[in-house]
């Protein structure tokens, strides 16, 4: 599933074509994805202007001039690609329609944004902008890891009484928004913290160090266009490149990248997910 860097990469790729533009035509080619599309979705979007295109955790939020917000989740295999962009940043000719092009947004500026989702775990909804943060999908999400609310004091308070492994705690969206398996593994490696360690037992100095490390891992991934392991594509159809910089994720049995370490990367299963780490470097 795309994590924060992938969703942010898509959002930034969509900005030139969607923000400030109106929906000229909307095609919804099936009744549902993970759940049914909202009532009168085509009617409610057609002619509306996207006043802001933002992200909350792993959701893209398109605020409209009609007081509604289009919520988009990419799910496991969803991708949003742009064609016909008048700014010349994307392919000018619209491609042939594909089998899993479930929603197609034609903008008045000539751009076309296509939502393709073979596995149909993606989702869309329309909600009131003024109360968007109260939507069931958004209401309990923790602070953004790249925002000011996510700091040393906050993280220390959240972890001090947690008897779960630090890996599981950082994956909890109620503690911090948008982190997923890949970037938690990478952040814990850079911090030298074992994913096995109980969250409450991580020393205060190491918790403090985790905050900038998490920020840096996410920033590095965004700069690289995210990670493409299976389905993820940027808005221009290109792959992300951060997977080429993984220190631990997916590297079971490979040598540790830490200078002077002769350890190899191990994989364990925690809460049904694979955790990759160096048993020698991470304690």
Hey, which residues are catalytic here?
Answer: 2-3, 58, 273
Which distant-in-sequence residues (6+ apart) come within 8 Å of 67 by Cβ? 128, 129, 130
Q: How many CA atoms lie within 13 A of 121 on its CB side?
A: 7
* Residues forming a β-bridge with 273: 270
Residue of 136, 130, 133, 95 lying closest to 113 (CA atoms): 95
Are residues 33 and 117 in contact, defined by beta-carbon separation less than 8 angstroms? Answer: yes
Are residues 268 and 196 in contact, defined by beta-carbon separation less than 8 angstroms? Answer: yes
Instruction: Extract the tokens encoding 122.
Output: 């993606």
Look at residue 278 and give its three-state secondary structure.
coil
* Residues forming a β-bridge with 101: 116
Residue of 77, 82, 78 lying closest to 19 (CA atoms): 82
CA 96 to centroid of chain Cα atoms: 27
Instruction: Extract the tokens encoding 125.
Output: 């909804």
- DSSP 8-state class, residue 243: G
Look at residue 165 and give its three-state secondary structure.
strand
């Amino acid at each position: 599933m795309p994590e924060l860097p992938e969703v942010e990469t898509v959002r930034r790729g969509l900005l030139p074509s969607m923000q400030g533009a109106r929906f000229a035509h909307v095609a919804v080619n099936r009744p549902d994805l993970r759940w049914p599309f909202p009532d009168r979705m085509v009617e409610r979007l057609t002619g509306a202007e996207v006043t802001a295109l933002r992200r909350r955790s792993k959701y893209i939020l398109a605020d409209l001039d009609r007081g509604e917000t289009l919520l988009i989740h990419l799910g496991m295999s969803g991708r949003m690609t742009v064609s016909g962009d008048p700014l010349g940043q994307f392919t000018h000719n619209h491609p042939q329609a594909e089998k899993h092009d479930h929603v197609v947004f034609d903008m008045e500026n000539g751009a076309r944004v296509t939502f393709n989702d073979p596995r149909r775990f993606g989702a869309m909804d329309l909600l009131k902008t003024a109360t968007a943060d109260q939507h069931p999908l958004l209401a309990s999400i923790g602070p953004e890891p790249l925002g000011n609310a996510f700091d040393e004091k906050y993280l220390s308070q959240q972890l001090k009484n947690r008897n779960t492994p630090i890996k599981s705690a950082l994956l909890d969206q109620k503690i911090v928004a948008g982190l997923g398996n890949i970037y938690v593994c990478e952040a814990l490696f850079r911090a030298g913290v074992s994913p096995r360690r109980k969250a409450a037992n991580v020393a205060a100095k190491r918790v403090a160090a985790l905050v900038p490390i998490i920020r840096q891992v996410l920033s590095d991934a965004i700069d690289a266009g995210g990670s493409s392991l299976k389905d993820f594509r940027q808005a221009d159809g290109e792959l992300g490149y951060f997977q080429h910089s993984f220190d631990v994720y997916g590297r079971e049995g490979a040598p540790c990248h830490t200078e002077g370490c002769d350890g190899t990367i191990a994989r364990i299963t925690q809460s049904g997910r694979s955790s990759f780490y160096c048993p020698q470097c991470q304690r």
